[in-house]
Structure 1
């Protein structure tokens, strides 16, 4: 009997197994492939926690894998932090299936160690959880969410005492602690009623929301006169069946934007996200209903947030009068320029903009034009949060942080990407440019004329299950063992191997150290201000390829980008075919 079969037998024979999970195991008992995929490995920590398909097995999200993770977290906190039991942990959850159940299960396990928990009475956005950690001064935070993943997923994200996602060093220690829990089926926990009786479970109402909204109110870059006036901007907003409705609508109201049309069909939480193929504003089909409403209301701007409200998508009219979704890089560049152009440079000491290594270089060019230094991090907003935390010691000042995947942070009262903040700033930015007689696409043209025709793209290949994981490993190993010398006829100048923290300068045959944490990622810096980056996703069974170019004009940039993509698609296809 194989190891996974032994674990399956343990689950199948466990007398007190959750009845729904027991039913599922019975349903697939004759499907060896399905059973192996559910039990061949443990669901592992990725971007700040774990994320996976709901269901039975150690490679699935269920009450037992959640309890085991929380048990490890509890032991990690008690061993590495002070005053853990009194400071406690704050827990929030989104609209997905089993989210509230997993939140309560987390509290039940923490309570068995005497650790107090603060749990929101109803669903809340991820950035509010980040803010709550800081506001309540808890030792950690837990967010039950799978962000924009398909409906069959859920997840478990961990935040440290700064309100930022845990970084790799913390994650490794938590994983070590989790692995010391030998049996996920017998993790100790208290009943909810017992937690309440002992004062170990505090239900949160709207105190945190109100404190957050107050900070949001003072984040604006508008003058007091503009702030107070009622604005004629026509807005459409969709929370895509998620958590952002209350905070976004109240935030816009207190900034005096009265003309907000809500996509009613998507305003209510819905774990199945029944009106969209994917609840992800990165995928432009999610804006279909918002665009329909925008046409009816002649909207100036369409706002769409993902289910846990940490990502924002924005659509505005293009030159032909059709609504078009801005890319994450385009919106990030526009927000950065708006913030810097409305910021007194005398106010901030050592101002810093932070972006990820796969985000647009247009951001660096804009920052430099305002004498603001750009810092690069690995992909994942946890690294941006980590940088902000370091500024207390270095004397640097955070101005703005963003990543190409629609994540933005304007003010550091939260320490994770924040679609609510971004929605407020994007709206007032659209109002500013409307008063100048320009749409956001026309404003973007101004930036490109000034700084160069930067253009970026991303393609991904989904490879599911054990076999898919092995294929992703094969691709990365081949690219790392045999680095590309040129891509689409453009010569490679530098090879950045983030797994070994080495940068090779090809012309000089010289190596440098990359001063960033190790990650399974390869980046190629090409001539002509182009670059390509390849990395496995930390949250989905995908391998992603990112591209960036800077052409003479729009057509030149589009042609170069298409050529890079076609070439990399062929390279990956050849590797998988063993050519």
Structure 2
């Protein structure tokens, strides 16, 4: 169908939800927005789906949620796992609770058991709950750190990880077989509650998760070294407040100061421009409170609590927000340095766009490392594989985008685990008379000055998607031979699984196919292009290593100039 025909199909649907009907009537005055809402189905990809709220096949609404849930129901039925059921959690966004109930109603129509949290919970607790309850699958309704007008539907397998490619492909096919999202049948909420097909869960799972959280601690005298630590914490209007506060208190931190203005759930995220701890402005209120209290560490979690940001004071008392790569390096170094014995088969797992710093630190302590594609589902998939084969012992997994996993009782990035471990690392270095920045500087002196940067271009709508495709095609067909004054040694094209060197040698990349390009340069430097799978963005990653901060900063700047010149010639 054309977008006009799709619109007419919705417009002529007599039983359209009243709120969506009102919005659809308003939308008819804006043809460009109307086309964007109907020119395609909201894509259900390997990470589920995410999009703007509103009427339309390309929007998040009760009908596109039902379509996704219908496909998931078919997947559970194909596994003969109706009784195992599906766990459903949701965050603080508009319509999150409603979408969770719609999911349970679709599942209930198929006779599938659903376990739904009675109030908002973090994504990592959903991952834990799937494993704890022995469920066949999980769903969390969230758009992570996207703007307020977004929401999403993330699907998990029985291992508690986001669906890896093979399983995701099966679910995607089943979702795509749903021809008319307006006609997906649902059960009545009261009926599935009465029959027990909808069970509300909360405190029992909370307790089990908090018990498991104790295993994250490393130091034998954690309560002793943590008692004088001053922590400022902000959940950025999201889901992490209860679990992080209890986790910090149970480890002995007596001075936990929550940013009260950001403590309550708020779908508008009204105190920040973006509820993303990667953005330094998200720390403004925490920094103000930290300066008032002279706190040792500031911790921020994104709305669904799978990402963690950390800020620490420098010599002048100003707070510096650490990058995800820097926090990851500090956590890896602490975990391995404090281990009585690093397992011979121990492994740190990171992504292809994450700093080489972590690999160097892991190797220093005798551990190996592995790169996966971007997306924590690939890290979770490897954890499961190693658990089954015994080939490696999982030590730590992380992404540069502020996602970390310390212990594998969850199989997705876990900001609650990362929060309590970051506080422990800060307490440890404080007991040695050092700040986290000073500890980081020691690592640079020991291993080299690694520096990374990220640049994003937002290109919304149909035209934006076309521009992103043009950029990727141009870098594929016209790869730069030099960047930032450095020679390009090889190009890795993950869409073809090939690594082509400038000498003409071809190597196979043993990773799933993905629309990603990585350019390997001289002197341990690199840059990478990757369209986002969840946002209308293309991302450019840069990584360098030199002997000083100034040299690394200058080299990053030169790399970005080279890349931007080619982008500007393309769009």
Give the TM-score band, short-chain normalised: over 0.9
Pick the aligned partner of 1:474 from 456, 470, 473.
Answer: 470
Q: Distance in 2 between matches of 1:482 and 1:174?
A: 36
1:355–1:403 contact (8 Å) kept in structure 2:
yes
1:32 equivalent to 2:31? Answer: yes
Q: Distance in 2 between matches of 1:562 and 1:351?
A: 36
For residue 366 of structure 1, what is the aligned residue in structure 2?
361
Q: Distance in 2 between matches of 1:487 and 1:228?
A: 50
Quote how far apart the aligned CAs of 1:59 are: 0.3
For residue 108 of structure 1, what is the aligned residue in structure 2?
105
Q: Distance in 2 between matches of 1:200 and 1:134?
A: 19
1:487 equivalent to 2:483? Answer: yes
1:521 equivalent to 2:516? Answer: yes
For residue 387 of structure 2, what is the aligned residue in structure 1?
392
1:228–1:255 contact (8 Å) kept in structure 2:
no
For residue 183 of structure 1, what is the aligned residue in structure 2?
180
Quote how far apart the aligned CAs of 1:570 are: 1.6
Pick the aligned partner of 1:537 from 517, 523, 532.
Answer: 532
Q: Distance in 1 between matches of 2:194 and 2:340?
A: 52
1:159 equivalent to 2:156? Answer: yes
Pairing of 1:68-87 with structure 2 (within 5 A): 68-79=67-78, 81-82=79-80, 84-87=81-84
1:299 equivalent to 2:295? Answer: yes
2:117–2:200 contact (8 Å) kept in structure 1:
yes
Deviations 1:227-257 (A, max 9, x none): 3566101110000000000000000111010
Deviations 1:518-558 (A, max 9, x none): 00000000001110000101111000000000012111000
| SS of match in other structure, 2:20 | helix
For residue 119 of structure 2, what is the aligned residue in structure 1?
122
Quote how far apart the aligned CAs of 1:321 are: 2.0
1:565 equivalent to 2:560? Answer: yes
Pick the aligned partner of 1:257 from 239, 253, 256.
Answer: 253
1:332–1:402 contact (8 Å) kept in structure 2:
yes
For residue 55 of structure 2, what is the aligned residue in structure 1?
56
Q: Distance in 2 between matches of 1:190 and 1:138?
A: 21
Flag structure 1 segments of 5+ consecutive residues without an equivalent: none
| SS of match in other structure, 1:535 | strand
Deviations 1:26-83 (A, max 9, x none): 001132111110000011124510000000000000000000011011112212x13x
Pairing of 1:420-439 with structure 2 (within 5 A): 420-439=416-435
For residue 44 of structure 1, what is the aligned residue in structure 2?
43
Flag structure 2 segments of 5+ consecutive residues without an equivalent: none
Quote how far apart the aligned CAs of 1:319 are: 3.1
| SS of match in other structure, 2:417 | helix
Quote how far apart the aligned CAs of 1:482 are: 2.1
For residue 233 of structure 1, what is the aligned residue in structure 2?
229
Deviations 1:2-43 (A, max 9, x none): 611111001011111001111111001132111110000011
Q: Distance in 1 between matches of 2:46 and 2:277?
A: 19
1:147–1:307 contact (8 Å) kept in structure 2:
yes
1:203 equivalent to 2:200? Answer: yes
2:225–2:428 contact (8 Å) kept in structure 1:
no
Number of residue pairs aligned between Structure 1 and Structure 2: 570
For residue 14 of structure 2, what is the aligned residue in structure 1?
15
The TM-score normalised by the length of structure 2 is 0.99
1:148–1:279 contact (8 Å) kept in structure 2:
yes
For residue 549 of structure 2, what is the aligned residue in structure 1?
554
Q: Distance in 1 between matches of 2:216 and 2:455?
A: 35
Q: Which runs of 4+ in 1 moved over 4 A?
A: none
Deviations 1:105-125 (A, max 9, x none): 000000000000000000000
Please, which moves more after superposition, 42-51 or 498-507? 42-51
Deviations 1:483-525 (A, max 9, x none): 2211122101111000000001223x11000000000000000
CA distance 1:439–1:229, shift in 2 (3 Å): closer
Quote how far apart the aligned CAs of 1:218 are: 2.4
Pick the aligned partner of 2:167 from 166, 170, 179.
Answer: 170
For residue 192 of structure 1, what is the aligned residue in structure 2?
189
CA distance 1:172–1:206, shift in 2 (3 Å): same
Q: Distance in 1 between matches of 2:143 and 2:212?
A: 26
| SS of match in other structure, 2:83 | helix
Q: Distance in 1 between matches of 2:290 and 2:189?
A: 45
CA distance 1:46–1:285, shift in 2 (3 Å): farther
CA distance 1:538–1:339, shift in 2 (3 Å): same
RMSD over aligned Cα atoms: 1.0
1:430–1:440 contact (8 Å) kept in structure 2:
yes
2:524–2:545 contact (8 Å) kept in structure 1:
yes
The TM-score normalised by the length of structure 1 is 0.97
Deviations 1:100-141 (A, max 9, x none): 000000000000000000000000000000000000010000
Pairing of 1:391-470 with structure 2 (within 5 A): 391-395=386-390, 396-470=392-466
Q: Distance in 2 between matches of 1:573 and 1:339?
A: 44
1:334–1:444 contact (8 Å) kept in structure 2:
yes
1:47–1:539 contact (8 Å) kept in structure 2:
no
Pick the aligned partner of 2:244 from 244, 248, 252.
Answer: 248
| SS of match in other structure, 1:85 | coil
1:47–1:380 contact (8 Å) kept in structure 2:
no
1:322 equivalent to 2:318? Answer: yes
CA distance 1:48–1:14, shift in 2 (3 Å): same
Quote how far apart the aligned CAs of 1:460 are: 0.6
Deviations 1:438-464 (A, max 9, x none): 111110000000000100000010000
Q: Distance in 2 between matches of 1:320 and 1:259?
A: 22
